Amino acid sequence: MTVIEIENLRKSYHDRPAVDGLSLRVERGEIFGIAGANGAGKTTVVECAAGLRPYDDGTVRVLGLDPRTDRRRLLQRVGVQLQEAALPDALRVGEAFRMYASLYQHPLDWRALMDEWGLTEKRRVGFASLSGGWKQRLFVALALIGDPEVVFLDELTTALDPLARRSTWDRVRKLRERGVTVVLVTHFLEEAEALCDRVAIIDRGRVVTAGSPQALIAEAGTDSLDSAYLTLTGRGL
């Protein structure tokens, strides 16, 4: 079953196209990767799909809903970790969990979630005093607090140390076991290879190619997704 359907999406900023006729489909229960260079349009696609940015043209359906007209109903069932976001400096971790849980109709048990993401020891720490990696973990956990069917994770592990990265991957795999659909934006192709069922490589606002990491590696005739990416976008040396 298709849970995300994007058809011919277009979005320009000041007449410069950031997303230029992009189409993709994500099936229920898969971990779908979006990879591509800085400025390729990944964040724009994700935020248009989550109803957080208006777009110029095209059709977007997430769980059958139109994010432009049904934003609030959609966000009841869709979690988002934004690439750039903040909480008030003085808001403590525990308070953030509790407050965000109260914004949903059927939230998860926020204490259990806080525990699962290793944040209980930080519950009295204010947002401003968290290190970058802890902030990122907090935002990933907050994306899950409404017990979503679909989660968009825009840069899952950029700031995480290797250990935290591995345990985050494990937790994302557990999401898949529970039937949650995950859309993962990443620069880190090892991550896509390790986690994703399918990956779309986008460049200049279009999908260059999409498929399983193994298929992309075979298509490019290289030995890792990293070099496949460089070959497929024509950016190889």
Interatomic CA distance for residues 13 and 52, integer angstroms: 15
CB of 139 to another protein, least distance (A): 8
Q: Output 69 or 221, the one with its CB closest to another protein.
A: 69
- Total number of residues binding ligand ATP (CB under 6 A)? 11
Q: What are the percentages of helix, strand and coil residues in the chain, rounded to 5?
A: 35, 25, 35
Q: Output 68 or 173, the one with its CB closest to another protein.
A: 68
Q: Output 149 or 203, the one with its CB closest to another protein.
A: 149
Residues from 26 through 45 that contact another protein (CB under 8 A): none
Tokens, residue 80: 């988002």
Specify the amino acid at residue 215.
A
88 is an interface residue for another protein by CB under 8 A: yes
Specify the amino acid at residue 38.
N
Contact by Cβ (8 Å): 3, 181: yes
Q: Work out which of 2, 8, 27, 39 binds ligand ATP, going by CB under 6 A.
A: 39
Contact by Cβ (8 Å): 49, 185: no
Residues in contact with ligand ATP, shown as a per-residue x/- string from 72 to 91 under the rule CB under 6 A: -----------x--------
Sign of the alpha-carbon dihedral angle for 144, 184, 60, 18: positive
Q: Work out which of 6, 26, 75, 225 binds another protein, going by CB under 8 A.
A: 75
Interatomic CA distance for residues 11 and 153, integer angstroms: 20
Interatomic CA distance for residues 10 and 101, integer angstroms: 33
Binding site for Mg ion (CB under 5 A): 42-43, 83
69 is an interface residue for another protein by CB under 8 A: no
Q: Which does 102 bind (CB under 5 to 8 A by kind): another protein, ligand ATP, Mg ion, none?
A: another protein
Interatomic CA distance for residues 55 and 20, integer angstroms: 11
Tokens, residue 219: 């298509």
CB of 104 to ligand ATP, least distance (A): 26
Q: Output 39 or 88, the one with its CB closest to Mg ion.
A: 39
Q: Output 39 or 54, the one with its CB closest to ligand ATP.
A: 39
CA torsion 44→48→53→59, rounded to 10°? 130
Q: Output 39 or 132, the one with its CB closest to ligand ATP.
A: 39
54 is an interface residue for ligand ATP by CB under 6 A: no
Contact by Cβ (8 Å): 47, 56: no
Residues in contact with ligand ATP by the rule CB under 6 A = 13, 18, 36, 38-44, 83
Residues in contact with another protein by the rule CB under 8 A = 50, 52, 72-73, 75-76, 80, 82, 84-88, 90-91, 95, 98-100, 102-105, 139, 142, 146
